[in-house]
Structure 1
Amino acid sequence: MIKLDIKLTGHTYPIYITDNFTRLGECLKLAGINGKVALITDTNVDRFHSKECIEVLESAGFSVSKHVIEAGETNKTLETVQGIYEFLLTNKFDRSSAVAALGGGVTGDIAGFAAATYLRGVKFVQVPTSLLAQADSSVGGKTGVDFKGYKNVIGSFYQPSLVYINVNTLRTLPLRELRSGLAEVIKHGVIFNEDFFDFINRNISNMFEFDVEVLKYISEKNCELKGMVVEKDEKEQGLREVLNFGHTIGHAIESAMEFEMLHGECVSIGMSGAFKMAEILNLVNKKETERIENLLKKAGLPVKLPDVDREKVYNNMIMDKKARGGKLTFILPEKIGKVIKFKTDDKNLVMKVLNTL
């Protein structure tokens, strides 16, 4: 089992990467969790992994109660969080208890926000089962829900007590979900490390064949890269903004499409858009844009906008939490492995990019 530590001011937590759930209970105890565990999962993940997780935890001496939420981004709401509060109160969970999120990024965001706010905070455990969550959302402490069609506008930073990654859970993902998660994996290569980008390019087929060693390496590298940023900028005051590469456009597409497209699909289009903006600004050449688009296509991801009102996408960007004083913040590439922050209020530039997608 691989172990990484995320070292924050006043709080360090481990990430465990393995290919089974066998040591989940042991890892909770090592994190100082001894009370009751509320296992929060969704209607998709429940039928694959809940039974095994509960058995492992109970065999380690934990009392476990399960709460199942409806799967999907459209259920990432305050109403869903309220349902978790009611479940926790009904089952008399107290401050010695822990909330464990078993599922993808949506489940982690919702359960994390509930853990952050129930009794002003109880211990929280991430058990991510999707590639997107294992590569990105389970690390870093972002929790929250969507509100009135706007993504993640209500939430908090709330770090987990531990993250437990079983890469074999990826075998139960629909192919579309697996591809969606690859967008965040590719994102990290573009932002930080050209060698990692090339490794992904060489090993796409191995990933789709569920090569355990490749999956563990990719999970470890993603967690290392994101952890490095989170350690330096826990609450996104500067450096951590680079992790939003592809997300300024991506989040706006998600909202404009009323969450019919998956997060990674929208981020993929957003990354293509960021390269096209960088081309217009003479930061990269067309060859670099083709290089990223070819890898995204190889992963089965879109690089073109569907039939959606570009003006609506632009307006959603203006309403995004990353906008400041009417200016949009884009993370743009200078090359594969290096990005910069770019702020603009030039609507014509943004619309030109959207119209090329």
Structure 2
Amino acid sequence: MKVLEVKTALKDYPIYIDHSYDELVSAFEKSGLKPSKLCIITDTNVEKYYLETIESMLSEKYDVCHYVFEAGENSKHLGTISDFYNFFVEEKLDRKSVVVALGGGVVGDMAGFAASTYMRGISFVQVPTTLLAQVDSSVGGKTGVDFNGNKNMIGAFYQPDFVFINSETLKTLPYREVAAGIAEAIKYGYIIDNDFLEYCIENKESIKSLDNNALIEVIYKCCEAKAYVVSKDEKELGLRAILNFGHTFGHSVETLNNFKLLHGECVAIGMVAALYYSMECGNTTKEDIEDIEKLLEFFELPTRCDNNVDEVYNQMFYDKKTSSGKIKIVALKKIGEAFIDSSNDVANIKKAIEYIAK
């Protein structure tokens, strides 16, 4: 088992990366948590694979209940959060209770948000089961829900007490879900670690075939990179915003397609747009764009969308980085080095959208 430490101003916590859940109870014991009750929150997809196993394991030591909601982004709204609260009250959860987020990014975002607001905040842990959640969304404390069709519009920064990752869960996922997570993993290579990008390229066959050693290396390197960024900027006031590489374009595409494309698929499209934008700014090359397209296509990820240029552009104003009516783009100075471009260069933004919208 590999262990990483995330250090923030308010809380330090470990990330455990293993190939089973054998050490999960031990992780609870090491955390110092003494829960009056554990409440597992999961969705209808994860329920059939892992709920019984995890609940049985934890029930040997703790009082455990569970709540299952309908899987998918369409459940990610305040109505579902209200259902969580009602269940918490029915189960008499108190300030010493702990929420266990068992699932992908939607589960983690929602369970964390509910935990952050119930009784002004109770403890929670992340047990991510998708690659996207394991390499990105479970680490760093972002929680929230969509609102009026806008992604993650309502939320809070709320750190878990620990993250427990079992790489074997990826083998129960449809390949499309795994590929969506690979897109988020590739992101780290472009923004912060060119050596990791080279690793992904050199080991792409092993990663795609879900070789356990390759997966654990990818997960570890991504968590290490994100832990570093979060330790420097917990609440996305500066450096942390680079983690949104591809997301300003991608969130717009995701919303306009009514979440029929997976988040990671939209990030893939968005990264192509961001690289094109960086090229128009004089920083990256046409060859760089061709390289990312080849890599994404190898993993069967999309690089284009069918949306109208003006629609994509107008939706980008709802991005949380937008300030005073100006769109901020996470662009590249070079491969492995990102920055926040606040120039609001409308012409280049639209050129980038035109490139992907065909």
Name the CA distance, whole Å, in 1 between partners of 2:239 and 2:136.
Answer: 16
* Equivalent residue letter for 2:80: T
What SS does the corresponding residue of 2:317 show, helix, strand or coil?
helix
Contact 2:269/2:302 (<8 A) preserved: yes
Q: TM-score normalized by structure 2?
A: 0.97
What SS does the corresponding residue of 2:300 show, helix, strand or coil?
coil
Name the CA distance, whole Å, in 2 between partners of 1:319 and 1:115.
Answer: 26
Corresponding residue of 2:340: 341
Name the CA distance, whole Å, in 1 between partners of 2:307 and 2:329.
Answer: 21
Tell me by how many angstroms 1:346 deviates. Answer: 3.4
Return 5+ residue gaps in structure 2 as ranges: none
Corresponding residue of 1:150: 150
Name the CA distance, whole Å, in 2 between partners of 1:14 and 1:342.
Answer: 33
Name the CA distance, whole Å, in 2 between partners of 1:301 and 1:189.
Answer: 17
Tell me by how many angstroms 1:344 deviates. Answer: 3.2
Corresponding residue of 1:187: 187
What SS does the corresponding residue of 1:156 show, helix, strand or coil?
strand
Corresponding residue of 1:227: 227
Contact 2:327/2:344 (<8 A) preserved: yes
Corresponding residue of 1:52: 53
CA distances 1:269-304 after superposition (whole Å, capped 9, x unpaired): 110001111111111111111111111111111111
* Equivalent residue letter for 1:227: A
* Equivalent residue letter for 1:311: D
What SS does the corresponding residue of 1:79 show, helix, strand or coil?
helix
Question: Among the aligned pairs, what percent are the same residue?
Answer: 45
Tell me by how many angstroms 1:127 deviates. Answer: 0.1
* Equivalent residue letter for 1:40: I
Contact 1:34/1:62 (<8 A) preserved: no
Name the CA distance, whole Å, in 1 between partners of 2:349 and 2:88.
Answer: 45
Corresponding residue of 2:323: 324
CA distances 1:1-30 after superposition (whole Å, capped 9, x unpaired): 111111112311010000111111111121
Q: How does 1:142-221 map to 2 (within 5 A)?
A: 142-221=142-221
Corresponding residue of 2:242: 242
Tell me by how many angstroms 1:310 deviates. Answer: 2.1
Tell me by how many angstroms 1:334 deviates. Answer: 2.3
* Equivalent residue letter for 2:53: E
Contact 1:147/1:153 (<8 A) preserved: yes
Return 5+ residue gaps in structure 1 as ranges: none
Corresponding residue of 1:309: 308
Contact 1:242/1:341 (<8 A) preserved: yes
CA distances 1:152-199 after superposition (whole Å, capped 9, x unpaired): 010000000000000000001111111111110000011111111011
Contact 2:116/2:122 (<8 A) preserved: yes
Tell me by how many angstroms 1:341 deviates. Answer: 1.6
- 1:32 partnered with 2:20: no
* Equivalent residue letter for 1:168: E
Contact 1:76/1:110 (<8 A) preserved: yes
CA distances 1:90-131 after superposition (whole Å, capped 9, x unpaired): 000101100000000010000000000000000010000000
What SS does the corresponding residue of 2:249 show, helix, strand or coil?
helix
What count of residue pairs does the alignment treat as equivalent? Answer: 355
* Equivalent residue letter for 1:22: D
- 1:72 partnered with 2:72: yes
Tell me by how many angstroms 1:209 deviates. Answer: 2.2
Give the 4+ runs in structure 1 shifted more than 6 A.
Answer: none
Name the CA distance, whole Å, in 2 between partners of 1:249 and 1:272.
Answer: 9
Q: TM-score normalized by structure 1?
A: 0.97
Name the CA distance, whole Å, in 1 between partners of 2:17 and 2:312.
Answer: 37
What SS does the corresponding residue of 1:344 show, helix, strand or coil?
coil
Contact 1:76/1:106 (<8 A) preserved: yes
Tell me by how many angstroms 1:135 deviates. Answer: 0.4
* Equivalent residue letter for 2:347: N
Contact 2:208/2:299 (<8 A) preserved: no
RMSD of the alignment, in Å?
1.0
Tell me by how many angstroms 1:315 deviates. Answer: 1.2
CA distances 1:216-260 after superposition (whole Å, capped 9, x unpaired): 111111110000000000000000011010000001111111111
- 1:120 partnered with 2:117: no
* Equivalent residue letter for 2:346: K
Name the CA distance, whole Å, in 2 between partners of 1:347 and 1:195.
Answer: 32
What SS does the corresponding residue of 1:71 show, helix, strand or coil?
coil
* Equivalent residue letter for 1:150: N
What SS does the corresponding residue of 2:328 show, helix, strand or coil?
strand
